[in-house]
Structure 1
């Protein structure tokens, strides 16, 4: 089978596509014939050795896939060979076949195509867990989404709207903000041309926002934290800008707010039953037409470096996916 391989840590251009032996499922594992794989920001970190997990070299990146069950390991129940599924894999998904733990495999909605399904699980799973579980977002509250045009950002915009919140989307260009409005944003901030804090003040009549969803980090985190309403929740989702900000902790005291970590992958492993409940709700929202995943680019495996580089350069709205030719 074909697979993208990381043989040494480095930039996307260092990846190669080669023929490798097909894996065999062990106990509790599902072998999936991959039709499409989502491209995510953590994929750019794991190939550089900068992610929380460091697989043994060589390995294939790719944390989420959509495909067809090819074989089942011992003890796997509730799935059948030939079923169309979505799976979270952490790595290994940029290949024509991949193994996934059975508890991280869910049925695909019947009316969803493989490309859309491949870009769904991580972005929407992360944002749902962040806003509903960690952020306890309530109807009528106001949420600020930083990096709102990216994969997790657009998912957060849609999920916040589904939960009945008012959404302020912040991104780096007017073109990106137009996409955010298409996905339900009530108000927007161009933080390349507008002062983030002043714009938040104007949009909230000086009150501030109840929840900040921050997958960006860098220079945006502190002004967003300073713009919190009383008892607000600041959700630390990621650091797409690169630098991990140093936050003055007195701000949490003065605002009476919480700074809350969001690590969906760890949540999936630590609380699998609760994750299953959250995913069932998300799939239900897709079927009801409340969520509309945006796939803005589809690439073959051979062009994975190009797709990853655009993600690193923050040029993507929504999600990119890779197709395997399966």
Structure 2
């Protein structure tokens, strides 16, 4: 028996319950982990509230990221042993492979031996944010040192990961944040420029920073009216990569600008990377190199105890965090 978190109805953080259940052993090609820390993601709040791209049968577990010690190994798994310290690449289905528990089972292909220098908290904060940012900026946009890249929702864990990846490549990171409260922290996190969208004209500031050539890459999880100033400031042949839909307002399609500049507006999910073994291996190599060198370093906003999972979800939905929320088990 192990203690896990599940929900029996859709709703707010208060629907999360602790239960003692028999966690299934690892099947062929799987690994069971004794969890030490969890990384929280907005997708988990969406699943819990019934608004995620995956609709679970109730009751359901949840959770996408974990770090811990290998407890047992299924048939056909090589290269791992019980006691190994590992972290987990987010699976396609958190309903099939939920992470919130003292024990959790995952496909072996998604289990990684991370650098031993990482704490459990940092190891649980690695894969979703860096894989998401890497897939968009490196794998799809082919970001280079001569590029300007706009990163909206820049104080999120993915936004901060994107800033670090841009700096690792030598590109110029332009962070966009809604209010001025996080301006200085974003500068300290490595953003070359910070634009406060509530106080500044986004299009004018981007054109001022990037000059006549404009911004080649935009990385955005918001959508909505922001599309108009973003595309207006983009370079000819630029690419806007959309990986979310946080805005409650309609997203206009800027037809004239898209045609005039031959822009690419590209929807993106991290599953494009995690579901392709070759692309995933390239991503893992890039990220592990950055973790080892220190050019990539997870920013942790706040750490909660497992017993405080409801409070952790409330903080997740407050949008007050700067970086990743982690839960220790």
Task: Give the TM-score of the pair, scaled to structure 1.
Answer: 0.94
- Find the aligned partners of 2:260 and 2:7 in 1 and give their Cα distance: 46
Task: Indicate which of 196, 204, 227 corresponds to 1:221.
Answer: 227
Which has the higher mean CA deviation after the structures are superposed, 140-149 or 225-234? 225-234
Task: Indicate which of 290, 294, 297 corresponds to 1:285.
Answer: 290
1:94 and 1:322 in contact (8 A); partners too: no
Which has the higher mean CA deviation after the structures are superposed, 171-180 or 90-99? 171-180
- Find the aligned partners of 1:42 and 1:222 in 2 and give their Cα distance: 26
Please name the residue that 1:32 is paired with.
Answer: 33
- Find the aligned partners of 1:241 and 1:120 in 2 and give their Cα distance: 26
Residue 60 of structure 1 and its aligned partner are, at CA, apart by 1.8
2:131 and 2:273 in contact (8 A); partners too: no
2:3 and 2:20 in contact (8 A); partners too: yes
* 1:298 is the counterpart of 2:303: yes
- Find the aligned partners of 1:173 and 1:40 in 2 and give their Cα distance: 22
Please give the root-mean-square deviation of Cα atoms over the aligned residues, in Å.
1.5
- Find the aligned partners of 1:83 and 1:118 in 2 and give their Cα distance: 15
Please name the residue that 1:314 is paired with.
Answer: 319
- Find the aligned partners of 1:272 and 1:9 in 2 and give their Cα distance: 34
Cα shift readout 1:159-189 (whole Å, capped 9, x = no counterpart)? 0111110111111223322222112111110
Please name the residue that 1:210 is paired with.
Answer: 216
Relative contact order: is structure 1 or structure 2 higher (C-alpha 8 Å, sep ≥ 6)?
Answer: 1
Which has the higher mean CA deviation after the structures are superposed, 283-292 or 202-211? 202-211
1:171 and 1:189 in contact (8 A); partners too: yes
Runs of 4 or more above 6 Å deviation? none
- Find the aligned partners of 1:242 and 1:266 in 2 and give their Cα distance: 25
Residue 266 of structure 1 and its aligned partner are, at CA, apart by 3.8
Cα shift readout 1:48-88 (whole Å, capped 9, x = no counterpart)? 22222223221222101111111111111121111011112
List runs of 5+ in structure 2 lacking aligned partners.
none
1:135 and 1:260 in contact (8 A); partners too: no
Cα shift readout 1:256-299 (whole Å, capped 9, x = no counterpart)? 11112221124312x12220221121111111111121111111
Please name the residue that 1:86 is paired with.
Answer: 87
- Find the aligned partners of 2:300 and 2:313 in 1 and give their Cα distance: 14
Please name the residue that 1:248 is paired with.
Answer: 254
- Find the aligned partners of 2:307 and 2:234 in 1 and give their Cα distance: 44
- Find the aligned partners of 2:255 and 2:309 in 1 and give their Cα distance: 40
Residue 226 of structure 1 and its aligned partner are, at CA, apart by 2.2
Residue 155 of structure 1 and its aligned partner are, at CA, apart by 0.3
Please name the residue that 1:120 is paired with.
Answer: 126
Which has the higher mean CA deviation after the structures are superposed, 129-138 or 198-207? 198-207
1:134 and 1:260 in contact (8 A); partners too: no
Please name the residue that 1:63 is paired with.
Answer: 64
